[in-house]
Each structure stands twice: as C-alpha cells, then as structure tokens.
Amino acid sequence: MNDVLRRRSVGAPAARSTLLTVLGEFLLQRPDGAWQEALIGALALLGYTAGAARQAVVRSTREGWLEAERIGRRSRMRLTPSSAELLRDGARRIYGFGEPASWDGRWLLLVLRVPEQRRELRHRLTTQLAWSGFGSLGGGLWITPHVEREALVQAEAPAQLLSFRAELGAFGRTAGVIAEAWDLPALREQYRQFIADFSPARPRGGAATFAAQTALVHAWRRFPFVDPGLPDDLLPRDWPRRQAHELFRERH
C-alpha cells in the first residue's frame, strides 16, 4: 500500500489532496498533459483561492508528482512516471472496491511482536495493518476474513510476525469478533453521509459537472482505506455499502 495515496485519500481536505483527485480522474488518461493554468483553474472551480491552487501545483511539481515543460511563456504539466503508477494503483483501488464478496469461513490471524523500545516502528506497522483492512483484537493480535492478504503483509526487523489461518471455535461469536475489531457504526455513518450528499446531485453545465464528479470521486476514494471490506456474509442485511457503491457507479 502506498502511504502517500492513503494519507491524501483520508486526510483533512486540502488543495493538494483535491489536486490528486483531479490528476487521477482527468490527467492520468492524457499523456499530453495540461496547461498549468488549467490545473489552477480547476482547483479554483472547486473552491480554492488562486494562491492556494498555484501553491498546490508548484509543491506537487517540486515533490515529483508533476513535471513541467516550458512552451513559450506557458508551462505544460505532465505526470511523472512514479506519480502515474501511484494514480493507476489508486484507480484500481477506487473502481475495484465495493463489489459483493463471499466468504469461506476462514480468518487470517496475525500476531505482531515489536520490541517495547521501538514504539515508532510499532505505530507504523499497526497503522499499515489497519489501513490494509485488519482489525485489532488487542495484545498484538490482528484479524481479517481476507486470507489472501497474507501475501501483502511485510514485517520490518526487529519486528516479528506469526500468521494463522483458522475458523472460529466453540467459544465466542462472529458478531462479537467483528464488533471488537472494527468500528462499523462509524463506518455506516460515513456511507450514509455519502449517500445523502450525492443522491440529489444533478449538475448542469460543464463546470458544475466537473466539480460534482471531482467531489464524488474525492469522497469515494477514502472508502477502500477506511472500510475493511468485510464480505457480505459478515455484515447486516441493511449494510449501506452496496447502495453507496451503486450510487457511485451511476453518478460517475
């Protein structure tokens, strides 16, 4: 998982975070790039001041997201190869997320051991596990119903990982495990807010449609990082992810 993509997807709203959505949604498919003033104007349509928009483009160029080609007195902006790959990965996550999934009854369990004095390492690894959809049961034990995610997990020395593939035994309930590992009520509220925000959207004209589509993708792209993607078999029947996913596809 790319930490830059995750931070810009779930962090506080900012011009550079919104610019990342614009780049992925509109510039990724344009190898010829776009004029610098077009990117600044795009952010202005989304409510940012000209100064904040210009600073976002300049900082993104300085940090290697964009590269500029001078053509007379103007600058043609293109994605760098690394940022293009970052955005392609983001597109796969965004547009591949939300499809119904079944479950074979197995859990992947991870035991994470980190020396007490390496608190920064523990924080980094537990953050990565959480953003990858694992839930914490406490005591260094992490869980997910997606056993295939074992291949995505990497430990950093001196941390140690121990993994198991298991089924729930006679003690405990699946609903209790889920309630302890993930905050589903908070996630439900985020889906409800998404549905409330975008169900009535009927933009007219190019500028309004551009702004509405950017807002739609910008709001949806956080869900692959905050939703553990639990299979339908483990969720309440009225779980709103499917409705939100259908709304996203229809509006997009």
pLDDT one-digit tens code per residue, 118-175: 989 998 899 889 888 899 999 999 999 999 988 888 878 898 999 999 999 999 899 9
Nearest-angstrom CA–CA distance, 56 and 14:
9
Count of residues in the chain: 252
Task: Quickly tell me which residue has 């610019």 as its tokens.
Answer: 19
Q: What is the pLDDT of residue 9?
A: 55
pTM: 0.85
Residue 92 main-chain phi, psi, to 5 deg: -65, -40
Kindly list the distances between the CA atom of residue 170 and the CA atoms of 105, 147, 173, 177, in Å, as whole numbers in the listed order.
Answer: 14, 21, 8, 13
Q: Is 72 left (phi over 0), alpha (psi -120 to 50) or beta?
A: left
Question: CB count, 10 Å around CB of 70?
Answer: 8
How far is Cα 126 from Cα 232, in angstroms, rounded to an integer? Answer: 25
Q: Are the C-beta atoms of residues 101 and 229 closer than 8 Å to each other? A: yes
The pLDDT assigned to 109 comes to: 96
80 pLDDT above the threshold of 80? yes
Q: How far are the Cα atoms of 168, 229, 244 from residue 137, in angstroms, in the given order?
A: 14, 17, 28
> What is the tens place of the pLDDT at every residue in 19-51?
999 999 999 999 999 999 999 999 999 999 999
Q: What is the DSSP letter of 23?
A: I
Rounded percentage of the chain residues whose pLDDT exceeds 90: 75
What residues have CB less than 8 Å from 53, skipping those under 6 apart? Answer: 15, 39, 40, 41, 42, 43, 44
Decide if pLDDT at 11 tops 60: no
